Structure 1
Amino acid sequence: MTVADEVPAGEILIVTGMSGAGRTTAANALEDLGWYVVDNLPPQMLRPLLELSELAGNALPRVAAVVDVRGGDLFTALPEITRALRHGRALRVLFLDAADEVLVRRFEAVRRPHPLQDDGTLVDGIRRERERLAPIRESADVIVDTSLHNIHQLATYIADLFRADESARHTVTVMSFGFKYGLPPDADLVADMRFLPNPFWNPDLKALTGEDPAVRAEVLSHAGAGEFIDAYAAALQPVLRGYQEENKRHSVVAVGCTGGKHRSVVTARELVERLRGLPGVAVRLRHRDLGRE
């Protein structure tokens, strides 16, 4: 989405999530895309902000409000306020998350305490924040796990996520991943490609990836591979139509194999090719674990 793109007047995005998960980086990326960003906004100010953006129309078409636990007791009202504002409004919630150990390393790197740490440890603060944010995370429209992103990668990912095609009502990210590195926490749907033989055990293919023609040919040569991909792509079509009808703007289809290097990469790319051209849908491809040892 570029600054000149036409979007519904009064569109507002609430950016929230765990402290240390990259809210500032996400806000900067949105600002670069032309969003008007308001940081550390009390939830009670969301309603007048949304009304202002609607009155401003094309002069203020996209507003991102960063809301987090720095608001103290005011923050607890966010789930209720968000539910009330959703009716008939172009409002979405972006939730940024990361693994606890990653958050600890990030706080230690900047030598700052967690906002909910008090007299306890960093882990205590993170645990309290997770408990407080649980209802918001459950109702979020987009969940992004930033554990494996540096600030530059996260900025690029956020820009890609919110740079949807002008005519698209829904953006689907097809993501390959390795089960041995854990399920993607932001996945809406998961496909398991471990029913196919693993090219890892072929000495000629082990060092290659699903991006290489030889691996693609090997994966697709096995019985059931093409049949599954065709059937799964067909099954996704009514799901993506339903997401549009329910005004769900983003989704993640995760495709996994053991290491996220061969079978899942081939399948994810094949799915993207089959989903491209669906009415109202923009399709993105992402390989989460490609290149990891």
Structure 2
Amino acid sequence: MRIRFELSDMEAFRVLSEHLSYVKAADELGMSASALTRRIQRLEESLGSELLRRSTRKVQLTLSGERVRDRAVNLLGDMEELFLAVRGEELRAPPVVTIASVLSATRRLLPPGLSAFRQRHPNTIVRVMDCTASEIIDAVRSGEADFGVHYLGTDDPELEFHPVITDHFVLACPLDHVLAQRGSITWRELADEPLITVWKGSGIRMMMDFELAKFDLSIRTGFEVRHAQTAAELAAAGLGVAALPGLTAALYPNLRMVPLNEPRITRVLGTLRHARRKLSRGAAELLSLIDQTNL
């Protein structure tokens, strides 16, 4: 496959994905908005996929755009490191450790280990990729990430999962919702409550549906979204209640977390690494610190 775009096109997209504004991105890149538009169009044509949705009011990344953004950051970083290394030993880029992590783990699991690692290795760059469960597996398997922070075990014999903490599902309610006053609630009591749910292809939803099926239970959907964080955002905006892992709901202080019982559904979060790929010294140390600081 021939690559028909330039690195400058990828850099333009990276900057635009940060600002989500053609005017601001063009200003940072030192070019006109029309020139930036041509670069993005050339990149989209080369990749055969729409990366951005444009309207008169805002610019949004598509799903393909989100994936390309994460890879663009890594690609451009790798190229910069290569150029620096070629130019001379004294300009060699600092070491890099890359983690692929579910978003809900970034507040609870990562900070203690990252803090300890930063004190020991202040010059090492730590890249944290916000990914879905399936994207984490792909990133660890391919070597794009040194290791992952994940909530699903895997049957892949090449990947090793090490459990760290247990996360319980809760009902995330706006503070003024009638159910927010409950001490706990059962799934059966939610049979007639239209929930804000994640889509059926997500790991969280499949886990939830699998456990509820054991008790001949199902849920009623009012809003269906792609990411658990979006479900929490809608609940926080007062649009309903959402059944979510507690670590996700805990990111939103204006949500009341009501324990969900009968059944009590849990997920285990832990670290994921490639069994046959040797980690760098820095990656191995950071992996160990994340495990240790969450015991």
TM-score (norm 1): 0.24
| Larger radius of gyration between Structure 1 and Structure 2 | 2
The structure whose residues are more often strand, as a share, is 2
